[in-house]
Structure formats: structure tokens, C-alpha cells
Amino acid sequence: MATRSIDPVRLRRGRIVTLLVVAAALGFSPTVAPLLGHLAHPAPLPATLPELSAPESSNAAVKVYARSAQVFQEALDELQVGERRRITLSEEHFRLYLRAAPLLGTARTDALLGMLSSEIRNQNPGRSRRSVFSSPEAALGNVQDWLRYLSWALAGARGAAALGAAAPAPLAASVVLGHSRDILAAANAAHLAPGMLAAIVDNEQSGQGRLYGLAGLLRNLTDTVALRTSEAYGESGLSGDLSQTVGLAQMSWQDALGQRARFHELGMSLGRVPFPTDEPEARQALSDPRAGLLLTASRLVGYLDVQEGEAARPHTSAQTYFTGPGWHNNPALLSSGQTWPYAWNGFFKACLYGALLHSG
């Protein structure tokens, strides 16, 4: 009797269905769920996650995870992950979902799992794309670190120093929280998620602490020289080449000048600071925290209009927690579907500050 060949497409679909059935059984089983919750607790450093509860017994919750699980499996297909490794990664992916859902909510968990699948897909050398990590295991591990940190950070009042010391990535919590009113004012004026704008400020300011603070000192020095030169001569000249961006969110003075039409459209105003008309005035405006953040928020609206469409305003979706920082830092990388540390860490920082600014 002839042996019937196995269709690889049907095999892959069957494997996905099997994984989803196992996941659903684990989630709803009254005996397995507590064990799974226990296994989902790694060493409590620097923070301990709260006790995990079983997923909500609703079709909607299952459908959310099922969609993300299928995309995750397709990403593993691109890396040609073996069966044993695939099972281990799938189990870790489901544990990650169990942690993220009660902590971040449905929308942000969905965005997180989508970002994770994109990261793993970008690890395929054949794509020639940027990725944050070299393996799915490393990516999943970093997400678990961030979730553990967020659970700890949002469990009670934490000082800026403690938040920075425990974070999985460099954090400038003192700067962000010190300018919380300016960030909230700018985000609300432009109808953006405050946490997303705060994440951009943190990414830019935490970068100044590298090289033992030399990066920040050099940035402040070049900004000052360019400002004084532009005030004296009407333009910064050669000194401006070393100081292309200015302010808390590091926005270019050229981009600042281009925000006038959108400011008018959005009904925004710099208040007591006049709208800039030349380089010296643009540098001065960006150096003012409130004005600089308003200009940055306007610029973000323009970028997000291109990606999501003006009809999607206000741009406050969970997806912007990644795309906002990505657009601000490197539009070319974001538009080509790549992942890199600035945007990756920006997502988790947006989750952190979205909660902290709201509670403050």
C-alpha cells in the first residue's frame, strides 16, 4: 500500500490548533492553572510579580491569545525552529500572556505580543533587518524582565532613584516625573498618549547618562554654543552641525519651524512663548520644556497621521507606545518593520509612565 505524503501546510496548521487547545486547557483547568501560576514566578529580582489568576473564562480572551499565538508560530516558522524548542517557546509565550493580560490590559498586551512576534521575525538573517536580540529566548526573557519590573514599579509608591536602579534599561525617571505637568499638557493638547510622549523624553534623557555623563555634558555644551552663535549671527553655522536637536525630547530646530500649520490645525499654542520664525527663536523655544514638548507632540501627530491616517485621531492606541518612539527616533526603521532598542524599550517605558502620570 502506497504511503500518503504529509502536506506541510496542513501539518503546520494542525500544530497551531494543537497548541491553542493545550493553551486553553491550561488556562481553564482549575488544577493546572495554579501550578502554571507557580511555575511562572522566576527569582524575585529586582521585583516579584503578584499572584497570577486564571485567565477570564470568556471567548473574547481566548480569541485575543489565539490570534497572537498564531502570529508567534508563524514567526518561529521563519526561523525554522525545531519541534522540541518550539514547544518550550510556546509554553513560555503562553506564560507571558498570562502575566501581561492582567497587568497591561487587553490592548497593550495585544500590542506587546505583536511587537514580540515582529522582533522574532526580524531575527531571520534572510530578512536583513535590525532586531533587538539574537534569539527568541532572549526576547521572551527580556519581556518577562520588563513585566516583572512593571508589576513591582506600579505596586506602590516608588521613588525616581529606585525606579531607575531596578529598570531593565537606562531610565531617567527623575527628569520625566519632574516635567510631568509639561508632558501631560503637551500630550493632551495634541491628543496623544502621555505615556508615549514621556517614553520619548526618557529615552532621550537617559541616553545622556552614558559614558559617565560625558554624552550629556557634550550635548549641553554644543547646544549652548549653537544657541549663542545663532543669536549673535542669525544662524549657528558650523556649531549647529554638532547640535542638530535641542530640548527634553531632542527635536531639530528645522522641524520646529515646520509645525506652524499643524499648530493652527490642532488649535495649539505656545502660550507666552511666540511661535519661532528663525533658528535662534526655534532653539529658544525648544529649550523651554513646555514649548519644546508641544512642538514635539505636534511633530508626532504628523508622523502618526502618515502611518495611521488622520481619521485615526486621537493617536492614543496601544500600538503608538511602540510606533511613537520609533517614528521619533528613526522613521525609516519603523516604516520598514524593523525593531531596535529605542522603540522596544520605549514601549515598556510608555506603559510605565502612562500609569505613573495618570496616578500622579
Question: How is the chain split into domains, by residue range?
Answer: 8-153, 160-359
Q: What's the pTM? A: 0.79
DSSP sequence for 44-95: -SS--PPPPPPPPSSHHHHHHHHHHHHHHHHHHHHTT--HHHHHHHHHHHHH
Q: Which residues contact 104 (CB under 8 A, 6 or more apart)?
A: 112, 150, 351
pLDDT at 341: 96
Tens of pLDDT along the chain (360 residues) come to 444 444 555 445 444 443 443 444 344 433 333 333 333 333 334 444 444 444 554 566 667 788 889 999 999 999 999 999 999 999 999 999 989 999 999 999 999 999 999 999 999 999 999 999 999 999 999 999 999 999 999 998 899 999 999 999 999 999 999 999 999 999 999 999 999 999 999 999 997 544 333 344 445 545 454 445 544 555 545 444 444 678 899 998 899 999 999 999 999 999 888 899 998 899 899 999 999 999 999 999 999 998 888 888 999 999 999 999 999 999 999 999 999 999 999 999 999 999 999 865
Q: Cα–Cα distances in Å, from 45 out to 133, 149, 166, 227?
A: 21, 9, 9, 45
In contact, 357 and 183? CB cutoff 8 Å: yes
Place of cell 531593565: 168
Q: Which residues contact 197 (CB under 8 A, 6 or more apart)?
A: 183, 186, 187, 249, 293, 296, 297, 300, 324
